[in-house]
Structures are given as structure tokens and as C-alpha cells.
Chain A
């Protein structure tokens, strides 16, 4: 099961909780679960509708996408106002030369 479905369910709850806790921060972005998408999310969704003409996003689909964008704001809220100072660099795959394997060492040495 993904993941994304579960995330979307939880995100909506998390967003609601966070919006209660930090109304000032999220005033513009706070999702309104029963009242339709926020103005910011709707603006973003309409921007997608306008800039992705091949997708032919209908108005009703655009409104639903706005609801999903509100859920995405919960991600931002979850990371906001938390100190990142002591977090390490993320693990990314990029290396400067194709000749250098990313994980050349045997598994036993990784433990």
C-alpha cells in the first residue's frame, strides 16, 4: 500500500491540528477540510491549470487539486519552526565522477 494515500489522510488531520496551533503562520494556507480549498491553494492549482494546457485540467479537477495542495502544506508545516542546525547533509546520489561508485564497499564493511 502506498503511502501517499495514507499520507494524504494523515496530512489532512495534521494540517488541521497545525492550523489550530499556529494560526498566524498558516492563516493563508490553512486547509478548510469541509469548506473547500484555501485561497492560496486554489491560486496555485489555477496556476497549474493555466501553465499545463496539455493536461486540460477542468475547473472541478482544479478545485480538487487545490485540496491536495492544502494537504501538501501540512508537509511544510511539519518541518517549520524546527531547528535544522544539527541535521546532517541529506544523502544524495550525486557524485562528481561517473568512475566513483557510490557504494563500492562490501556489505560486511557497512555494518
Chain B
């Protein structure tokens, strides 16, 4: 086997190799375990390797394929899971010192579903402590230290699904799963130059995943391409009796449907406070998208987004972690902000929380109205490239502002995909975010896939991956 060849194959390519017996699932799992062990520590992207389970699952996958049983596109494909998902018998630290010895005796629903689809869990991946729920202002806010983007070891991977994005980017695993409350898939996907898909709220079960905010948390994949993300999402989606917010999904087609033309909306002011290269790359992306349909500017609905997200996350995270806030264990977190952030959440009023929640249905309606006139909304995923590891976030790029786009979409529960859109400051990647109506994942994936057929950014390999 050549040293890095399978590392950057798509899921269908690896599946073809497996079915042609060019490689076995066991070989593939060992290959990923080796790369995770060699390159993971440089990136700080790995929370725990799972060789025993991986080889057991891989052997079973090989045996089934040999016997003619094929579980589908993920059969025999290795993957990693953010350390916020329970995996039977393995440490599940939630990236946080108070939970460093936590072990669950069952799998999260998504881990079980991926197992049922034949995927092979090779590692738990690093994350920002408690998914950032207590607040943080630095890359080092994690039990495993500051996770690096494979594009520069001096720069952050993004968070909170840090290790998931960094590990896919560096070719340590073909795909990984992460979660988003408000940006935790989009941000690291952008900073690591990979494809990240945040599904509609309720499409993927959160059972067995750390709860940060019950009304905002979503589970989604990081992959090499939009098409891969669709394959992984298909295996994870659907109603789960163990998560009462989850909903049924009709049979979805792994090859997303194509529209002839797209009506593409751009939120007003979306590039007002972004880095010049981010603006340049977004404008170039718009020119590509412009060949696929019409582009028009749209005003985002006028809501107090920061107050809404603040009240909801403070209220729900304060309740979720009340025990470690009250007994002081939260003060063992790595981030100075995280050590104290939970205390003020105990003083958020119920009326403010409910007022925030009462604004979410009208926000949902406002987005539904927007999606009567456009099929998707697009913008730069983030206003900057990755932050330097050694600077507090608020000191990294003065004058930039991410704006309300991501927060608005999260409050509305609508899906989005981030795909690489080029490179900016110091050669670090930038992202293009495509958001769509609730449960319109096939549409946003289709547009992202079309964008990726006309660009090559997702084929670029970061320096760490080939060293």
C-alpha cells in the first residue's frame, strides 16, 4: 500500500477498492489507526484510539463482504467520532477535565447506526471542552490541548468539533461525525478546509451525545466532499425513539437530485466585516454559483439574534451542567472564561429564556418566507481564516465580525453545508456556506456537489497530511 494513497479517497472510491479486494477493511482500519497515531499528536486531534473495536468491526465487515453481505456505501469504511458521542466501553470525556474518566456502557444512536451501516469506529476525536458551552476565548480550551488545522500547526482547527474536522482534513479518517449548537460544524469545516454538513434540527438523533442545548444541538458529518456527506447523513438520519425531537425521514437518494437552475440568495451585509481574502473568495464562489442560476441579495429577518442565542444556550447549558457549576468542578476547565461562565447562566431569568424561545417560531416562519423566493442562502462560512494558536480569539483579527447568518440559521433549525472556497491569509482555507429550508439537505448537498465539480479546493491536501 502506498503511504498516503487511501488517505484522501472519497467514500465511494474506498468502497470500490474494498469490493474489488484491492484493500480489506482491516487494512484500511490499520492504515487509519497508524495515521491517527503518527499525525494525530501533532494536530492534537485525537482523544482516544480504538484499535480493538476497530479491528473487530473491520474483520466483521470483511467477513460479511466475503459472504456476499453488503451493508451499503459505508461498509468497511473507518471513521472517527467527536468525543461527545458515547461509544461503549471507551472514554467519553466531552473534552473536559471533570469528565476525564467518564465511560458509557452503550453507544450513541449515531454510533450504532453507523455500525449498522458497516462503518468502522477507529477513534474518538478531540473537541472544545463541553462543546464550548461554558464559554471560551482560546484554542487551548480542551482536555487534549489546542487542536491545529493541518494547514498550519500555528493555527487553530476551529471548534468545537475540532478533531473531527482536523482529522478528515489531514487524511487520518475518511469521515468523522461532530455536532453543532451554533457553529461547531461550520467553523472547523471552514478552518480545516473540509466539507461539513449541519443537518436540520431533529433529522439526526442526539441520543448518547452530550447535551449542551436541547433545542439547538444537531449532529452532522465532516467529509471530503458533499456527496460523501450525503452518504453519511443517510446512514445516520431518521427518527429514534430515544430522542423525542427526532423525526422520520422518507427514503433518501444518495445521489442528490439536480435542479436546472438555482435561485441563490445572499444575505445583505454578509461580507461587510470579513477579511479581504474571504471576500475575494466569496465573490469568486458567487461567480461560479452564478453560472448555475440567479443571484440576489436578501435581507435577513430582523431579530435580536445574540440575545436569543445567549438566553437559550445560557438557560439550557446552565441546566445541563448545573451539577458541576454548583460543586465547583467546572473550575477545572482549561479556559478561564469557561471556569466561570456557568455561574452567570444561573441568573438568566426564565422570562428571558421563554421570550427568546417565543421568537423562534416567527424566525422559522421568516426563513420559510425567504425560501419561497430563493432556493438557498449563501455566504462566507466565517469572516476570517483560522485564528493563531497563541492569541485570544478577540485579539486575533480586530475589525472582523462573523455577523448573524450562522446564528440565525441555528436558531431557525435549518440545515447548512460548508465547503472549501479557497485560501486566504497565510494560505489558510476559507469556506462557503450554503443554507436551505428545513429538511432540504438533498438540495444544499446537490448545489455544494455542483460547486465542487467546478472547483478543486476540496482536493487540495494540507502540508501536515503528507509529512
- A74 to B307 alpha-carbon distance, docked (Å): 7
Q: Mark A76-92, 1 if CB is under 8 A from B, else 0.
A: 11110000100111111
Question: Is B214 an interface residue when CB atoms closer than 8 A count as contact?
Answer: yes
A56 to chain B minimum Cβ distance, whole angstroms, is 5
Pair B183/A4 contact, Cβ less than 8 Å: no
| Min CB gap A43→B, angstroms | 11
User: Are B214 and A3 neighbours in the complex by a CB distance under 8 Å?
Assistant: no
How many whole Å from A49's CB to the nearest CB in chain B?
9
Closest CB-CB distance, A38 to chain B, in whole Å? 13
Report Cα–Cα, A106/B203, bound state, in Å: 11
Shortest CB distance B243–A (Å):
10
Expressed in whole angstroms, the minimum distance between the Cβ of A47 and any Cβ of chain B is: 9
Do B357 and A54 touch across chains, with their CB atoms under 8 A apart? no
- Residues of B contacting A72 with CB < 8 Å? 310, 314, 344-345, 347-348
Complex CA–CA separation, A75 to B359 (angstroms):
13
Interface contact B328-A105, CB-CB below 8 Å:
no
Query: Interface residues of B toward A: which range?
Result: 35 or more
Give the contact stretch, choosing among B7-15, B133-141, B260-268, B283-291. B133-141
Within 8 Å CB of A65, what residues of B? 340, 343-344
For the complex, what is the distance from the CA of A68 to the CA of B354, rounded to whole Å?
20
CB-based contact A88/B328 at 8 Å: no
A57 at the interface (CB under 8 A from B): yes
Please, which residue of chain A has its CB at the minimum distance from the CB of B131?
Answer: A2
Q: A101 CA to B187 CA in the complex, in Å?
A: 33
Given contacts A2-B133, A2-B183, A7-B306, contact A68 B343 (CB under 8 A): yes
Contact A2 B439 (CB under 8 A): no
- Whether B454 is near chain A, meaning CB under 8 Å from some CB there, is no
- Report how far A89 CA is from B358 CA in the complex, Å: 6
In the assembled complex, the Cα of A64 lies from the Cα of B309 at a distance in Å of 22
Q: A88-B362, A111-B439 are in contact. Are A57 and B343 (CB under 8 A)?
A: yes
Binary CB contact string for chain A from 46 to 60 against chain B (1 if under 8 A, 0 otherwise):
001000101111000
- In angstroms, Cα B233 to Cα A107, docked, is 15
Q: Does B30 contact A (CB under 8 A)?
A: no
Tell me whether B304 and A103 are in contact (CB under 8 A). no
Query: How many inter-chain residue pairs (CB < 8 Å) link A and B?
Result: 184
How far apart are A39's CB and chain B's nearest CB, in angstroms?
A: 14
Given A2-B182, A106-B250, A71-B344 contact (CB < 8 Å): yes
Q: Smallest CB-CB separation from B343: which chain A residue?
A: A65
Residue A25 CB within 8 A of the other chain: no
- Residue from B128, B184, B309, B343 having most chain A Cβ neighbours under 10 A: B343
Q: How far is the CB of B167 from chain A (nearest CB, A)?
A: 18
Q: Is the CB of A6 within 8 A of B357?
A: no
Nearest B residue to A107, CB-CB: B249
Cβ contact within 8 Å between A107 and B158: no
Which residues of chain B come closer than 8 Å to A91, judged between CB atoms?
215, 357, 360-361
Query: In this assembly, does B248 line the interface, its C-beta being within 8 Å of a C-beta of chain A?
Result: yes
C-alpha spacing A9/B400, complex, angstroms:
13
Provide the B337-363 mask, 1 if CB < 8 A to any CB of A, else 0: 101110111111101101111111110
Which of A44, A75, A89 makes the CB contact (< 8 A) with B352? A75
Given known contacts A5-B337, A65-B343, A110-B438, A78 and B159 CB-to-CB distance under 8 angstroms: no
Cross-chain contact A3 with B183 (CB below 8 angstroms): yes
Q: A76-B349, A106-B250 are in contact. Are A111 and B438 (CB under 8 A)?
A: yes
B-side contacts of A75, CB under 8 Å: 307, 310-311, 314, 348, 352, 356
Q: Find A54's partner among B247, B326, B356 (CB 8 Å cutoff).
A: B326
Q: Are B306 and A11 in contact (CB under 8 A)?
A: yes
Q: State the CA gap A111–B396 with chains docked (Å).
A: 41
Are A54 and B341 within 8 A (Cβ)? no
Cross-chain contact A2 with B328 (CB below 8 angstroms): no
**Is B71 interfacial (CB-CB < 8 Å)?**
no
Whether B314 lies near A4 (C-beta < 8 A) is yes
Using known A-B contacts A79-B356, A101-B244, determine if residue A14 contacts B340 with beta carbons closer than 8 Å.
no
- Kindly list chain A residues whose C-beta atoms are within 8 Å of the C-beta of B402: 6
Q: Is the beta-carbon distance between B331 and A68 smaller than 8 angstroms?
A: no
Q: Provide 25 A-B residue pairs closer than 8 Å at the C-beta atoms, listed in order of the A residue.
A: A1-B132, A1-B182, A2-B132, A2-B160, A2-B181, A4-B135, A5-B132, A7-B310, A8-B341, A44-B347, A52-B326, A55-B325, A55-B343, A57-B328, A68-B344, A72-B310, A72-B344, A87-B358, A93-B214, A103-B202, A103-B239, A103-B245, A107-B248, A107-B249, A110-B439
B residues contacting A by CB (< 8 A) are 128, 131-137, 158-160, 181-184, 187, 202-203, 214-215, 239, 241, 244-250, 304, 306-307, 309-311, 313-314, 317, 325-328, 331, 337, 339-341, 343-349, 351-352, 354-362, 393-394, 402, 407, 437-439
**A residues at B contact (CB < 8 Å):** 1-11, 14, 44-45, 48, 52, 54-57, 61, 64-65, 68-69, 71-72, 74-79, 84, 87-93, 101-108, 110-111
The 9 closest A-B pairs by CB, nearest first: A2-B132, A78-B307, A90-B357, A68-B344, A3-B182, A7-B310, A55-B328, A10-B306, A1-B187
A2-B313, A103-B246, A105-B248 given; 13 more Cβ-contact pairs under 8 Å = A2-B135, A2-B159, A2-B160, A5-B135, A7-B310, A8-B341, A55-B325, A75-B314, A75-B348, A75-B356, A79-B352, A103-B239, A106-B250
